[in-house]
C-alpha cells in the first residue's frame, strides 16, 4: 500500500511538510509506503479548459511542459492521497489548486480514477482561514467517490515562521498522528476484504 503526500507550500521543510510527515509516521510504522512530493513554488499550470482529456481519454493532460502528468500517474497508482497546503489568504496555494483542477477533471473523464481511494486534507496557518482552505481540498475528495479521513479536530496546525514553529502546536501535531493512525486503520480494512474498485 502506498500513500502520496502533496505539499502545496514553496517551503520544502516548512510547517505543511512537517504536518504531512507527522501523518506519515504511523503509516510507516504499519508498513505502509509513503512519498512526499513538493509542488509549491514549482510550475503547475492551470487547466486550459481545452477539453482534450474528454476526447482523448488517455489518463493524461495535454499540457505537457510541467510535472503534472508524472505526479498524476503516481496519484492514480497510490491507495491514498494527502493534500497539504499553507493557508494563503484564507485558501490553498495556486499550485495545489491547479493540481486539484486538472487531477479531478482527468480522473473523472477516464472512468473515475480516484474512486475508493482514501484522502485527507491538511493545512498549516498562522492565524485564520483554515476551514475555508480545508474545504477547498475536500471538494476534490467529495466529488471523486473517495473516503475522507479526519481526526479529533479538523486537520490543521498553527505555525507562521519557517522552521519548527508548527511543532509547538502540540494539539495540531497529535491530531496529525491520530489522522495517520486512522488512515492506516482504514487502508488495512479496505485492503483486507475487497478487490472491488
Ligand atoms: C501569501 C501568503 C498568504 C498568507 N495568508 C494567510 C492567511 O490567510 N491566514 C493565515 O493564518 N496565515 C496566512 N499566511 C501564513 C501561512 O499560512 C503560514 O505561515 C503557514 O504555516 C506556512 O506554511 P509553510 O511553512 O508550509 O509554507 C500566509 C502566508 C503567505 C506567504
* Across 92-110, average pLDDT: 98
* Across 94-121, average pLDDT: 98
Q: Give the list of residues 6+ apart from residue 79 with CB closer than 8 angstroms, or none.
A: 1, 2, 3, 117, 118, 187, 190, 191
Please check the confidence at residue 126 and state whether its pLDDT lies above 80. yes
- Quick one: pLDDT at residue 193? 75
Tell me the per-residue pLDDT of 139-188, one tens digit each, with 9 for 90 and over: 999 999 999 999 999 999 999 998 789 999 999 999 999 999 999 999 99
- Quick one: pLDDT at residue 164? 81
The preferred substitution site among 20, 89, 125 for testing ligand 1, maximizing ligand atoms within 8 Å of CB, is 125
Give the residue extent of every domain in the chain.
2-193
Residue 126 Cβ < 6 Å to ligand 1: yes
Tell me the per-residue pLDDT of 26-82, one tens digit each, with 9 for 90 and over: 999 999 999 999 999 999 999 999 999 999 999 999 999 999 999 999 999 999 999
Q: Give the list of residues 6+ apart from residue 187 with CB closer than 8 angstroms, or none.
A: 1, 3, 27, 32, 79, 80, 118
| In the block, residue with C-alpha cell 496546525 | 157
Fold of 2-193: Rossmann fold (3.40.50)
Q: Phi first, then psi: what are they for 6, rounded to 5°?
A: -115, 125
Please check the confidence at residue 194 and state whether its pLDDT lies above 70. no
CA separation for the pair 194, 171 (Å, rounded): 35
C-alpha of residue 190 to centroid of ligand 1, in Å: 35
CA separation for the pair 166, 122 (Å, rounded): 13
- Quick one: pLDDT at residue 89? 98
- Quick one: pLDDT at residue 163? 78
Contact 85, 131 (CB under 8 A): no
Amino acid at each position: 500500500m502506498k500513500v502520496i503526500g502533496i505539499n502545496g507550500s514553496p517551503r520544502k521543510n516548512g510547517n505543511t511538510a512537517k504536518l504531512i510527515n507527522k501523518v506519515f509516521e504511523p503509516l510507516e510504522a504499519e508498513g505502509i509506503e509513503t512519498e512526499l512530493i513538493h509542488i509549491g513554488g514549482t510550475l503547475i499550470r492551470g487547466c486550459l479548459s481545452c477539453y482534450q482529456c474528454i476526447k482523448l481519454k488517455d489518463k493524461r493532460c495535454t499540457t505537457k511542459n510541467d510535472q503534472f502528468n508524472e505526479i498524476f500517474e503516481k496519484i492514480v497508482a497510490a491507495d491514498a492521497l494527502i493534500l497539504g497546503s499553507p493557508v494563503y489568504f484564507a485558501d490553498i496555494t495556486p499550485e495545489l489548486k491547479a493540481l486539484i483542477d486538472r487531477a479531478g477533471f482527468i480522473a473523472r473523464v477516464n472512468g473515475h480514477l480516484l474512486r475508493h481511494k482514501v484522502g485527507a486534507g491538511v493545512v498549516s496557518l498562522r492565524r485564520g482561514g483554515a476551514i475555508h482552505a480545508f474545504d477547498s481540498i475536500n471538494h476534490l475528495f467529495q466529488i471523486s467517490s473517495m473516503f475522507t479521513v479526519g481526526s479529533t479536530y479538523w486537520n490543521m496546525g498553527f505555525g507562521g515562521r519557517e522552521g519548527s514553529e508548527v511543532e509547538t502546536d502540540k494539539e495540531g501535531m497529535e491530531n496529525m498522528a491520530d489522522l495517520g493512525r486512522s488512515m492506516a486503520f482504514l487502508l488495512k480494512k479496505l485492503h483486507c476484504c475487497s478487490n472491488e474498485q
